[in-house]
């Protein structure tokens, strides 16, 4: 079971306009984007990284991994070994680095020695839950000393990518759940839940019925992450790098689109790379979704009406309570609640665990706000006037995690009702 419920309550991130998040002029553009790659054991993470490290894509990418594994056969221009790290410099300007501690300090030290990069990829081990790693880099720019990495403004979390094995993915999810039934959802489900993009790899080895079943299970756990079907992790790198999944960007927008809108997009904008982006057309309440997924992590999408200022404040109290206290806020509390006043605990305390949330809140005043959350951290950012027309016209919240039943929907709707 996740122990983060015991963690100190994090500070609420300001809902005031964030000068660093809404335009091309802003400093985020100058930060080095960081992508976390996670995935099931043997799913194809090294295959994907080897491609990135050896292909001529024109970017200087640093790949950081715990150990080289079979990526070690990469042809390196030079190899540097020093106590804590081994670095391979590749012909295309990329860098492959194995460091014992892949925390922020180690990344800072690597960047100081090697200079600035266009992108950093951090490989999590096969069993790693990406949530805490993402949390470490999200809104933690100060973690990294910007000047020391040769970049004006440090690092920005770009996205979390999960590689799922098409052959064993479904089985892994099933076994994982069975093994950990007493401890809550296992790593494979957490990896899917905490990712912004899913690569369903090794599709050459399975029948289409298995692929559809695996994709359905993935979508049930995480309906907002696009799924790309690949052979040997061959896909357009634009699908996984530079996606800005943690800011107000195009990807955030598409994640919030309605199912029918996605169907429409698919009809008219087929992916010419022949990646399979099957966001559309899933019946998420389908009874064919395997029981182990339903009993583990699932998702909940709630449509919201335009909110008054009071209802907006009530939403903030509601989301804060579910993320920080793992419980539902009583509707009566919602209009009066402040962070300090929430001492009353419902019997549901501890049964809900939200791993990721996203949303678009539309106010009756015409203002729009985007919700982004990783574990118990969240932010609500106003949408810039110039971007409003690109966003969906209906408010919506998507929660991914454990214990997200219809009671959660009713609680939210009554809190803002
Ligand atoms: N047929 C087929 N084989 C693949 C594909 N992708 C990877 N493989 C093979 O699957 C095996 C595992 O791939 P890796 O890239 O090492 O997987 P990994 O996720 O890095 O593995 P760990 O680091 O051990 O978790 C290797 O032998 C790859 O050559 C694919 O799409 N099709």
pLDDT tens digits, one per residue of 374-410: 888 888 988 877 766 666 678 899 898 888 888 999 9
Residue nearest to atom 11 of ligand 1 (CA): 42
Give residue 413's pLDDT: 93
pTM flag (> 0.90):
no
CA distance 160 to 133: 10
Give residue 295's pLDDT: 53
Per the structure block, which two tokens stand in for 351?
Answer: 């049964």
Task: Name the DSSP letter for residue 29.
Answer: G
How many angstroms is it from 167 CA to the middle of ligand 1?
Answer: 11
Give residue 68's pLDDT: 61
CA distance 225 to 252: 10
CA distance 19 to 396: 24
Asked if the model's pLDDT at residue 294 lies above 50, the reply is: no
pLDDT band at 102 (very low <50, low <70, confident <90, very high): low
Segment holding 359, helix H or strand E = strand 353-362
Q: What is the DSSP string of 273-323?
A: T------SS--TT-TTS-HHHHHS-EEEEEEE--B-HHHHHHHHHHHHHHH
pLDDT tens digits, one per residue of 2-44: 444 444 444 434 333 343 333 344 444 467 888 999 998 789 9
Q: Assess: ipTM above 0.90.
A: yes
CA distance 100 to 143: 18
Residue nearest to atom 24 of ligand 1 (CA): 42
Give residue 65's pLDDT: 76
Segment holding 80, helix H or strand E = strand 76-82
The fraction of the chain above a pLDDT of 70, given in percent, is 59
The fraction of the chain above a pLDDT of 90, given in percent, is 22
User: Ligand 1: which residues within 6 Å by Cβ?
Assistant: 39, 41-47, 69-70, 126, 201-202, 204-205, 231-232
Q: Which of 40, 42, 202, 229 to mutate to test ligand 1, by most ligand atoms within 8 A of the CB atom? A: 42
Give residue 208's pLDDT: 94
Give residue 66's pLDDT: 67
CB atoms within 10 A of CB 246: 26
pLDDT band at 226 (very low <50, low <70, confident <90, very high): very high
Mean pLDDT of 342-348: 42
């Amino acid at each position: 079971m996740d122990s983060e419920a015991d963690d100190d309550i994090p500070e609420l991130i300001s809902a005031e306009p964030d000068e660093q998040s809404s335009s091309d002029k802003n400093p985020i553009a100058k930060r080095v984007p960081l992508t976390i790659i996670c995935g099931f054991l043997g799913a194809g993470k090294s295959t994907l990284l080897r491609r990135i490290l050896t292909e001529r894509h024109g970017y200087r990418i640093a790949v950081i991994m715990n150990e080289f594994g079979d990526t070690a056969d990469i042809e390196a221009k030079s190899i540097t070994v020093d106590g804590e790290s081994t670095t391979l410099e590749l012909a295309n300007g990329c860098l492959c680095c194995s460091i014992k501690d892949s925390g922020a300090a180690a990344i800072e030290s690597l960047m100081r020695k090697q200079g600035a990069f266009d992108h950093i990829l951090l490989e999590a081990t096969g069993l790693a839950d990406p949530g805490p790693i993402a949390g470490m880099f999200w809104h933690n720019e100060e973690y990294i000393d910007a000047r020391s990495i040769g970049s004006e403004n440090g690092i920005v979390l770009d996205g979390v990518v999960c590689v799922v094995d098409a052959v064993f993915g479904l089985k892994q999810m099933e076994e994982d759940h069975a093994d950990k039934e007493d401890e809550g959802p296992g790593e494979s489900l957490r990896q899917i839940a905490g990712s912004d993009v899913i690569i369903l790899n090794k599709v050459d080895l399975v029948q289409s019925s298995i692929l559809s079943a695996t994709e359905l299970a993935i979508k049930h756990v995480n309906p907002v992450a696009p799924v790309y079907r690949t052979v040997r992790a061959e896909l357009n790198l634009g699908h996984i790098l530079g996606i800005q999944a943690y800011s107000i960007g195009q990807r955030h927008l598409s994640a919030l689109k309605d199912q029918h809108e996605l169907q429409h997009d698919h009809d008219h904008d087929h992916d010419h790379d022949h990646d399979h982006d099957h966001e559309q057309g899933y019946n998420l309440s389908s009874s064919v979704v395997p029981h182990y997924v339903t009993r583990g992590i699932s998702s909940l999408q709630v449509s919201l009406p335009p909110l008054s200022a009071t209802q907006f404040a009530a939403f903030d109290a509601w989301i804060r309570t579910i993320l920080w206290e793992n419980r539902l806020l009583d509707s009566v509390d919602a209009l009066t609640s402040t962070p300090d006043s929430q001492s009353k605990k419902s019997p549901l305390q501890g049964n809900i665990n939200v791993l990721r949330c996203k949303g678009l809140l539309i106010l009756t005043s015409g203002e729009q706000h985007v919700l982004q959350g990783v574990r118990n951290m969240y932010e609500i950012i106003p949408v810039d006037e110039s971007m409003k027309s690109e966003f969906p016209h209906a408010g919506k919240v998507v929660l991914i995690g454990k214990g997200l039943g219809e009671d959660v929907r009713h609680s939210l709707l009554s809190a803002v009702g």
